[in-house]
Amino acid sequence: MITWPLAELLPHAGDMILIDQVESFDEEQIHTHLTVRPGGLFNRADGSLPAWVGIELMAQSVAAYAGCRARQQGQAVALGFLLGTRKFECNVEHFPAGAHLRIHALRSLEDDNGMGVFECHLRGPGIHATARLNVFRPPQAASYLAEAGPEESPHD
């Protein structure tokens, strides 16, 4: 099990960190897990999580993969973006409170420009969800996000 705190691997904070632990990772994949707990940002009244939150759980696992690789290489954790998902399928409408979920994300493509594709699986008791996530991690995230200052008037 990886002992690095998730807050040091993900560019998220507080209640927005939804996964509990990184079990393992290597150059191609990551395994994470969580237990569904009531009272979170996305929980329904009965404490369950809607199945669509599975996409965010998969995306956070991919972000943790990038964070683990950065940490292993002595680099800072960089901001990344979920561009979209293809073929999200889930056999249930929600993940019940108390369910232990395991996520596996396998890198199938990554280029030098920061584009990546991951095949993801989420499993739990009677639960199976799959998706292909398209992600982007700009090489210079800070400059990518920087907004241009106000244009100067020619009369200034």
152 in a structural domain: no
87 in a structural domain: yes
pLDDT at residue number 142: 55
26 in a structural domain: yes
- Over residues 33-42, the pLDDT tens digits come to 999 999 999 9
- Tokens 């106000």 sit at which residue? 150
Alpha-carbon distance 4 to 145, whole Å? 27
Cβ contact 103:61 at 8 Å = yes
CATH number at residue 38: 3.10.129.10
Q: Which amino acid is at 23?
A: E
148 in a structural domain: no
55 in a structural domain: yes
71 in a structural domain: yes
- Tokens 């002595």 sit at which residue? 74
Compute CA distances 141 → 72, 137, 146, whole Å.
19, 7, 9
- Over residues 43-98, the pLDDT tens digits come to 999 999 999 999 999 999 999 999 999 999 998 888 889 999 989 999 999 999 99
pLDDT at residue number 33: 97
- 56: domain range? 6-141
Alpha-carbon distance 73 to 16, whole Å? 25
147 in a structural domain: no
Using DSSP's 3-state secondary structure scheme, residue 142 falls into: helix
- Tokens 């920087």 sit at which residue? 146
151 in a structural domain: no
Task: With cut-offs at 50, 70 and 90, classify the pLDDT of residue 144.
Answer: low
Sign of the C-alpha dihedral computed for residues 21, 24, 30 and 33 taken in this order = negative
Mean per-residue pLDDT, 134-146 = 72
Q: How many separate domains does the chain show?
A: 1
Task: With cut-offs at 50, 70 and 90, classify the pLDDT of residue 148.
Answer: very low
